[in-house]
Amino acid sequence: MVPKKITTHILQNMKANGERISMITAYDFSFARLFDQAGIDVILVGDSASNVMAGHETTLPITLDQMIYHASSVIRGVARSLVIVDLPFGSYQSNSKEALVSAIRIMKETGAHGVKLEGGEEVLESVKRILAAGVPVMGHLGLTPQSIYKFGTYTVRAKEEMEANKLKSDALLLEETGCFAIVLEKIPAMLAKEVAETVRIPVIGIGAGKYCDGQVLVMHDLLGINTEFKPRFLRQYLNLHEPITQAVQRYIKDVKSNDFPSEQEQY
């Protein structure tokens, strides 16, 4: 049977019906296929690829070409999930025309279903222009890692009233402009609850508590491939670091001792 493809419209209905939305990051064909077949609703080709795939300290260095490479690999593994791709740092901030050109490149060259970008009022012109071209846009507020050098730390955002008020008004602006969903990263749970109850579009949280309409995690964190990153909001479902290390150590031992390959494993 052909699986029913997830659309932005379906996500909207899920929120209306109180059905939580599951989202995970992926950066390559093989994992995207696994996650799609497992039944995930949304796959995010996050610019966290800069950290977990390329080993950079921040998300800033990853380029549009690199994001396109990851996203086109992911798309080839997906039959059902909605695939959203991050616009990387530097591909949309300078002006809305550049933002549109970047979004169009992503849509044309990857086959993805929409883009995500960080910020509220500051990026509204870009959001409008991308939406006007028919490209679905997901917003991202709260801790926005592309602005890490402005924040200075990865600590919880919008704890103070002024920042919380700006976040709430940004969420409303993104909704009014036509974004189909918003990611809220690392903010107090009660603030995320207020936003999720105010806007009609789905609010997907990461470190934003249980009242969001859905949750997103970075695959390497969820699967325990990274051992160093253990924020309070992370639920680690596997500890892949250990079995992978053990398997590779067994392989090394077998090669060194000439146990691998055996008679049966050769032609």
Residues at the contact surface with ligand KIV, assessed by CB under 6 A: 25, 44, 46-48, 86, 183, 185, 206, 216, 218
Whichever of 161 and 228 has its CB closer to ligand KIV, that residue is 228
Which residues neighbour 48 within 8 Å (Cβ) at sequence distance 6 or greater? 25, 59, 145, 218
Least CB distance from residue 49 to ligand KIV, whole Å?
7
CA-nearest of 85, 130, 140, 87 to 110 is 85
Whichever of 41 and 47 has its CB closer to ligand KIV, that residue is 47
Whichever of 150 and 256 has its CB closer to ligand KIV, that residue is 150
Least CB distance from residue 42 to ligand KIV, whole Å?
10
SS (H, E, C) 53-112: CCCCCCCCCCCHHHHHHHHHHHHCCCCCCEEEEECCCCCCCCCHHHHHHHHHHHHHHHCC
Helix 124-132 with 161-177: angle, nearest 10 deg: 20
Residues comprising the chain, all counted: 267
Place of tokens 């600590």: 155
Tokens at residue 31, please?
Answer: 């994992």
Least CB distance from residue 141 to ligand KIV, whole Å?
11
Residue 185 appears among annotated catalytic residues? yes
The stretches of the chain forming alpha helices (DSSP H) are 8-16, 29-38, 49-52, 64-75, 96-110, 124-132, 148-151, 161-177, 189-198, 219-222, 241-256
Least CB distance from residue 264 to ligand KIV, whole Å?
43
Q: Are 142 and 184 in contact (CB under 8 A)?
A: yes
- The catalytic residue among 19, 122, 185, 263 is 185
Whichever of 107 and 217 has its CB closer to ligand KIV, that residue is 217
Measuring CA to CA, how many Å separate 217 from each of 90, 102, 148, 212, 230? 24, 25, 19, 13, 12
DSSP state, 136?
A: -
Least CB distance from residue 252 to ligand KIV, whole Å?
32
Whichever of 42 and 164 has its CB closer to ligand KIV, that residue is 42
Active site residues: 185
